[in-house]
Amino acid sequence: MKKIILFSIGIMAFISCNDKKEVAEAEVVEQVNFKSFGDSITNESVLTKEEMLAKYETMKSTDTLNVKFGADIISTCAKKGCWMTLNLADGQESFVKFKDYAFFVPKEGAEEHYAVVEGKAFIEEISVDELKHYAKDAGKSQQAIDSIVEPKRTLRFMADGVLIADTK
């Protein structure tokens, strides 16, 4: 009987230690420092990139959705920091601009950092001229710019506020 009791206590202690480890790991994630741009937002109740892509897939070109999501930054405008692209699931990306051109994000060094954006998601078809303009702003080669020959349906986002993690 004593062996069963001691065994039970040992199992309970092991489970208790594992629970504490999971709590400690969750606290580390919450302790990420963010730089804030635009309106003040929090990193709470943030959709994942997969959840955001699922929302985009159900949207029509006339829909607008108020939402907050997080994803890694692919690139930012090399001239001013006036736009960025975020990496969604399945190779998709969201093109993010900033409300009223009121704020900018870093032009360099933000790539691959985690960002949280809050604002309006929508679908837009971008003209060839505008696509070429963005390619030029991103520092693409003339060959890459010239290869743009048809409009593109894009997943767009107008951010009121942005948080960018200090670390990758």
Tens digit of each residue's pLDDT (9 = 90 or more) over 49-87: 999 999 999 998 889 999 999 999 999 998 899 999 999
How large a percentage of the chain has pLDDT more than 70? 81
For residue 99, what pLDDT is reported?
Answer: 94
Report the alpha-carbon distance of residue 82 to residue 158 in Å, rounded.
11
Predicted local distance difference test score (pLDDT) of residue 30: 55
Q: Which pLDDT score, from 0 to 100, does residue 25 have?
A: 35
The tokens for 103 are 């704020």
Predicted confidence at residue 69, as pLDDT, reads 97
Instruction: Give the residue ranges of the chain where pLDDT is below 70.
Output: 1-31, 168
Residue 140, burial from CB neighbour count under 10 angstroms (0-12, 13-18, 19+)? middle
pTM of the model: 0.69
Distance CA 39, CA 45 (A): 17
Can you list the positions of beta strands (E) in the chain?
34-38, 64-76, 83-87, 93-98, 114-126, 152-165
Residue linked to tokens 């890459």? 144
Q: Which residue type is seen at 87?
A: N
Q: What is the pLDDT of residue 168?
A: 62
**Could you tell me where the DSSP H helices lie in 31-127?**
49-57
Q: Centre a 10 Å sphere on the Cβ of residue 158 and count the other Cβ atoms it contains.
A: 15
